[in-house]
Structures are given as C-alpha cells and as structure tokens.
C-alpha cells in the first residue's frame, strides 16, 4: 500500500515532535534518580554581584516568589556544577533527582512545594545566553547535561504555567 506524500509528511512531523518530547523526558530520567527523594546540591547563599564575570554568569530570577534576584559567577562546565560552585543551592525532585530543579535557595519553601514530584503548575525555567551581548534562549537540555563555556550566562527563572520570560540582566 502506498501512502500519499502529504500524509507521510504529517506522520513524520508528528513522530519528530514525539521523539523530541521523549528525548526531553529521557534526559531528565536517564540518571537513575527515578523514585529518589529530593536532592539538595549546596546550601551556601550566593551574593549578588554586578561585577563582570570571566567565566559563567549565573542569574536567578525568583519571579513570583518573594526573594531578590541573584547574580553570581561560576566556572565553565556542566550547569549543575556551575551552580554549585557559584553557591546557588538547588534541590531536585523525588521523580528526577538533580536532573530537574525544584527549589533554588530554599524557594519555593518546603511548605509551598514538597518536591516529591514535579509540580504541575510551576517550574524553574533554564535559560542560556552565549555572550554578554547575546540574547537569552530557552535551554534545550537540563541542568545536569547542559555544558557551559566561559563567557556564557545561565539563568533560572521561577515560572507559573507555560509562559516563561528570560532572566533580567
């Protein structure tokens, strides 16, 4: 049986989008943390700094949470390690461990969000910028696999729903 060309394209497009979704979920679940308890990476507070960063600039925008933004500097490498070195405390979820950020600097608080499972209405969006003059792009990888180089910036923005705005420099 021959399938007309137009329906084949629709099928291929549908399969391609499904594969992208599966890759995103696999990237989160591929570390063997499924069913684990939430994991905290660091607990030291970061200091706000407007000084230029020779490595990776880290920006945390708490969005609707009641906390001032953080600007820090960390070494190039995997984003999770950069955050740890910049003294940005993150906590993963029970579902995915450190591959997904559930809490930053104890926000949202454990009373607001348990982190046992991924929240359905809010999340920490991960953003990346290739240079100080560049524009923010929504990260295509998770915090545990995103590799950062010197001169880049990484941002975490607490987001409700599906719309996320880039960090404010």
Q: Where are the domains of the chain?
A: 31-160
Architecture of the CATH domain 31-160: Beta Complex (2.170)
Helix (H) or strand (E) holding 85: helix 79-85
Higher-confidence residue: 14 or 127?
127
Digit-coded pLDDT (tens) for 132-162: 999 999 999 999 999 999 999 999 999 988 8
Written as one string, the DSSP assignment of 31-80 is TS-TTPPP-B---SPPPP--S--SSEEEEEE-TTSSS--EEEEE-SEEHH
Looking at the chain, the whole-number percentage of residues with pLDDT higher than 90 is: 56
Find out whether 155 and 136 touch, Cβ atoms under 8 Å. Answer: yes
Digit-coded pLDDT (tens) for 55-73: 999 999 999 898 999 999 9
């Amino acid at each position: 049986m021959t399938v007309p060309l137009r329906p084949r394209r629709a099928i291929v497009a549908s399969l391609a989008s499904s594969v992208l979704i599966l890759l995103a979920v696999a990237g989160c679940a591929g570390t063997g943390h499924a069913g684990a308890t939430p994991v905290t990476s660091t607990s030291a507070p970061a200091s706000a700094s407007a000084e230029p960063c020779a490595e990776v600039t880290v920006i945390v925008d708490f969005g609707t949470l009641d906390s001032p933004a953080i600007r820090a500097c960390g070494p190039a490498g995997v984003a999770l390690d950069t955050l740890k070195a910049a003294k940005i405390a993150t906590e993963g979820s029970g579902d995915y461990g450190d591959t997904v950020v559930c809490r930053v600097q104890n926000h949202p608080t454990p009373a607001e969000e348990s982190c046992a499972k991924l929240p359905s209405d809010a999340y920490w969006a991960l953003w990346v910028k290739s240079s100080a003059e560049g524009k923010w792009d929504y990260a295509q990888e998770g915090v545990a696999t995103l590799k950062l180089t010197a001169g880049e910036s990484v941002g975490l923005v607490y987001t409700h729903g599906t719309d996320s705005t880039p960090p404010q420099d």
